[in-house]
Amino acid sequence: MSQERGRLRPGILHSLTAALGAILLPHVTHLPLWCSAACAAFLGLRTMLTWRGQASPGRWTLVALALACALGIALGFGAAFGRDASVALLALMLGLKLLETQSSRDATVCICLGYFLIITNFLYSQTIPTAACMLVLMIWLTATMVSAQDRTGALGPKQCLRLAGTLLLQGLPVMLVLFLLFPRINGPLWGFPQANNSSLTGLSDRMSPGSISNLGRSDAVAFRVEFQSPMPSPASLYWRGPVLWDFDGRTWNAAAMLSTAPMQHTAKGPSINYTVTLEPHSQRWLFAIDLPRNVPDGVLLTGDYQLLAEQPVRARIRYDISSHSSYQYGLEEAPQALVRALRLPEGLNPRARELAQALLAAQRQPQAVVNEVLRMFRTQLFYYTLEPPPLGRHSVDEFLFRTKRGFCEHYASAFVFLMRAAGIPARVVTGYQGGELNPVGDYLIVRQSEAHAWAEVWLRGQGWVRVDPTAAVSPARIQRGIAAAVPEADPLPLSVRGNLEALRSLAFTWDAVANAWNQWVLGYSPDRQMELLHDLGLAHPNWRTLVILVVGLISSVLGALAFVILLRLRPAPGDPVEQLWKRFCAKLARAGAPRRISEGPQDFAQRAAKRLPSMGKEIAAITQCYIGLRYADPGPRPQEAHPKEVRRLQALIRHLRPGRGPPRT
């Protein structure tokens, strides 16, 4: 295949196939198995045909393959034609287009489709490694495009890569202008409906033995917090989430119907102001320090002080909020809520019921019953562990009287059961407790391993009061975190355990970089854009102002690039010796002795001397000086090696005049 006839060289086809294969590779985990196999078959067939120098499959063969792929998409995804189906269709069509590629035009179409497929990676992941990988693939694909447009084949791989990098750098200023100033809409940078969120981890609206201890093994970030006021002590950091009211003997569930009636509360200390950056968890609830004082826009505050978003959180969000860590609320709780907070399933956990009745008979006052249960957890042989033994039908009885080993959900569940059995309204609250300060970025990291469950009891004259039975069993869990509370043998992640200081420092640095990426790239919202414009001096910007600003800046950037390119295209100054020789030939041509293209210096000098005998000596002297400078020394450039001879040649030519005698030298 010759490039002159518009067909691609085999080397370019191999490079294009390899580049598109690398682009398709990250999608293997997202595409159906048959789709990945089909794409691999198309790439393999293209490689074999190129290697053997054979033509592409016929048109009807390609049409049949395209119809088969479309049928596979329709059967595999049905009516759910969303992200995954679109990416699968694009990947298959790219493979088919590559299979028929023969000319530069076909290669250009494949490369454009490849750019689109690179972008689709951000629909699945927007991390820094993903962006770095996609940048490498873009440079590779652009270098392939440069090579495909090089009809002479003069550019090698290094030159193509260098030119591709230069092109991307030239487009960088335009990209920055569009990113920073183009009018933005509300929503994430790469928002897209997701049908499957099974990969997301976090708290559920259900709690059973082992559900939270499973989260304790995860070092995934739940959210990050930046404090505008002094950060409270770790023991005060209770991040309120789902409130669980109903118990079936094993599992606690959130309320089916949530009251949105405002509750009266009394703050007993200064407010805490902070900003939460919440990772997606595919549920509606947001997290705030117990007790939230204000509600962000578009967020519902329920009667039991849960914060609920309008839609499930499927993308990273950021919200400002204030809270009180010391408060009183629920003094006038609704009677139906108190009745609900006393319900227990019949026929389960008889020993726990007997214990609760005995405590009530002995202590008589609800506060004394609470204190006695906490004393029991504190003084008896209860253990806090990530690996509790399994429990049977009477889960509370087995935990209290047999195993005595559990995680926070075991203690919260047993405590609330005992309170209800003693006639004290109580409920389970889940969320997170504590967090880890990142000294590099000066913000708090709350991981899934900090997932926690505690209790609230309703006491007359006090309202709802937080009681954390885990603090009675393991005070270190509340004061110093989970790593200080569980045994060394429990399977905590290395980043949570924190035994290696160098690894912790590296992890903090990387998390600070990732957080900056999340805040300023992925989290660059319309509000952030307005803040930037205000800092630039635009008090009340609107979309017209932004469009004018974008067009003006892009025009300036393109004008500057064009000016630089024109400067580089300006011919460089030539060899001074050659310039002097051309001036000499021009003088002789005006005198009636033009130089022929086929003549060398000596032949031309001899003929010119015969034509102009009065100038014969001058012509001979100039010619000999030129030959000595141009041909006698093959080393460095003449003007560098013989500056005196160059000046002598310049003087001889300057004094050459028709009809004059020889110049003085």
CA distance 508 to 502: 10
Contacts of 443 (CB under 8 A, 6+ apart): 224, 225, 226, 227, 437, 515
pLDDT (0 to 100) of residue 572: 57
Q: Contact 155/147 with Cβ under 8 angstroms?
A: yes
pLDDT tens figures, 384-393: 988 889 888 8
Global confidence as pTM? 0.71
CA distance 646 to 413: 99
Q: How confident is the model at residue 437 (pLDDT cuts 50, 70, 90)?
A: very high
Q: How does DSSP classify residue 55?
A: P
Q: How does DSSP classify residue 325?
A: S
Residue 180 has pLDDT above 70, yes or no: yes
Q: How confident is the model at residue 520 (pLDDT cuts 50, 70, 90)?
A: confident
Residues marked active site are found at 408, 452, 468
Burial of 12: CB neighbours in 10 Å, binned 0-12, 13-18, 19+: buried
Contacts of 184 (CB under 8 A, 6+ apart): 524, 525, 526, 529
pLDDT tens figures, 460-517: 999 999 999 999 998 888 887 777 777 766 666 666 666 667 777 888 898 899 888 8
pLDDT tens figures, 317-367: 889 999 988 888 888 888 898 999 999 999 999 999 999 999 999 888 999
DSSP for 225-247, written as a single string: EEESSPPPPGGG-EEEEEEEEEE
CA distance 240 to 432: 7
The CB-side HSE value for 107 (13 A sphere, CA atoms) comes to 28
Q: Give the pair of three-digit tokens for residue 157.
A: 């791989």
Nearest alpha carbon to residue 181 among 559, 557, 562? 557
* % pLDDT > 70, the chain: 89
In the block, which residue shows the tokens 């309120």? 240
Q: Contact 449/215 with Cβ under 8 angstroms?
A: yes
Contacts of 16 (CB under 8 A, 6+ apart): 8, 98, 101, 107, 110, 111, 144, 148
Contacts of 282 (CB under 8 A, 6+ apart): 197, 200, 202, 312, 313, 314
Q: Give the pair of three-digit tokens for residue 383.
A: 């253990």
Decide the pairing of beta strands 405-406 and 383-384: parallel
Strand locations in 279-356 (E): 285-286, 288-289, 299-301, 307-309, 317-323, 327-329
Contacts of 82 (CB under 8 A, 6+ apart): 192, 193, 195
Mean pLDDT of the chain: 85
Query: Domain extents for the chain?
Result: 3-149, 206-501, 576-654
